[in-house]
């Protein structure tokens, strides 16, 4: 075999290797996509079915598209109340919790390590406390200060419960900010608040997005706290509202799924518009920029 032939053989072998690699990768991605999309598509289809059809033909297209499921969900499932409630609670809690976390993180990053470490551990250990363990004292405290029966009863615990994750993610980011930037701003005449708001906060943006996404998603979906603390329909959030369709003897699956679709829609729309920020936010802090 000549040298040229050997080289050609080697090249075709390496081409084959690349092709196989690409095929394997495509297959894995295909399976992963189906894994995610199949339940979503089934859910969308099921949201247009009547209850009998849901059981008779669980995977097929509906014979009759029940668009009324959506209008009934809006009125009967109180989506017209629970959706705005969820938006208000999540937005306020995410904004305040992220802002407070960033302030704590910046403060901790500028303290001496021996003092900061203890406080940091204290904040982060909040992640280990299960909500079931604190629900009773929370109930008593909220009732005592008069927040019970208002959206504040959800917003305040969410803010507090968002802090551990916020502090965990943002403190290393704040610590990595060059000290000279802060000194330069101080020299330029900035007050401590101006240093924080005009220099530190914008530079922590990827981390802030990351914390907002992670906290926002669980606050949006949180079920247990509103179940206990927000039993009045006018302060209920969507996860609790949806469950009210699930009865002991019969369940309106079409309404359940249409409500679930409505509740997922804002997150999906936000994702479509902010794909880049989501991705950079979720990887923020993973690699030093």
Q: How far is the CB of 208 from other proteins (least distance, A)?
A: 13
Q: How far is the CB of 96 from other proteins (least distance, A)?
A: 23
Q: How far is the CB of 98 from other proteins (least distance, A)?
A: 18
Establish if 178 lies at the interface with other proteins (CB under 8 A): yes
Distances from the Cα of 284 to the Cαs of 213, 218, 279, in angstroms? 12, 19, 9
Nearest residue (CB) to other proteins, 254 versus 281: 281
Among 203, 267, 270, 282, binds other proteins (CB under 8 A): 203
Nearest residue (CB) to other proteins, 181 versus 269: 181
Q: Write the DSSP assignment of 60-76 as a string of letters.
A: S--SS--THHHHHHHHH
Stretch that binds other proteins, among 68-76, 87-95, 193-201, 249-257 (CB under 8 A): 193-201
* HSE, side-chain direction, 13 A CA sphere, residue 48: 12
> In this structure, how many other beta carbons lie within 10 angstroms of the beta carbon of residue 282?
14
Phi, psi of 251, deg, nearest 5:
-130, 135
Torsion of CA 97, 265, 74, 88, to 10 degrees: 10
Among 181, 217, 246, 269, binds other proteins (CB under 8 A): 181
Establish if 174 lies at the interface with other proteins (CB under 8 A): no
Give the containing element (helix H, strand E) for 213. helix 205-221
Q: How far is the CB of 211 from other proteins (least distance, A)?
A: 18
Taken in order 241, 242, 243, 244, is the CA torsion positive or negative? positive
Establish if 189 lies at the interface with other proteins (CB under 8 A): yes
How many residues at the interface with other proteins, by CB under 8 A? 18
Enumerate binding residues for other proteins (CB under 8 A): 178, 180-181, 183-191, 194, 198-199, 202-203, 205
């Amino acid at each position: 075999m000549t040298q040229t032939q050997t080289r050609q053989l080697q090249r075709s072998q390496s081409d084959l290797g690349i092709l196989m690699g690409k095929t394997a990768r495509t297959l894995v991605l295909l399976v992963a996509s189906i894994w995610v999309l199949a339940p979503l598509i089934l859910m969308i289809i099921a949201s247009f079915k009547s209850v009998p059809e849901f059981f008779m033909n669980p995977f097929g297209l509906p014979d009759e598209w029940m668009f009324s499921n959506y209008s009934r969900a809006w009125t009967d499932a109180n989506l017209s109340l629970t959706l705005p409630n969820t938006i208000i609670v999540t937005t306020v809690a995410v904004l305040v919790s992220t802002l407070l976390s960033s302030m704590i993180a910046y403060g901790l990053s500028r303290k001496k390590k021996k003092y900061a470490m203890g406080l940091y551990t204290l904040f982060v250990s909040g992640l280990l406390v299960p909500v079931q363990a604190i629900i009773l004292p929370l109930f008593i405290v909220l009732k005592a200060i008069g927040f019970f029966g208002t959206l504040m009863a959800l917003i305040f615990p969410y803010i507090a419960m968002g802090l551990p994750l916020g502090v965990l993610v943002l403190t290393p980011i704040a610590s990595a900010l060059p000290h000279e930037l802060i000194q330069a701003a101080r020299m330029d005449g900035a007050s401590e608040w101006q240093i924080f708001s005009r220099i530190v906060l914008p530079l922590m943006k990827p981390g802030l997005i990351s914390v907002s996404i992670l906290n926002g998603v669980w606050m949006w979906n949180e079920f247990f706290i509103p179940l206990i603390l927000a039993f009045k329909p006018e302060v209920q959030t969507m996860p609790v509202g949806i469950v009210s369709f699930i009865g002991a003897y019969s369940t309106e699956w079409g309404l359940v799924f249409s409500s679930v679709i409505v509740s997922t829609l804002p997150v999906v729309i936000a994702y479509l518009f902010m794909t880049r920020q989501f991705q950079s936010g979720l990887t923020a802090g993973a690699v030093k920029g």
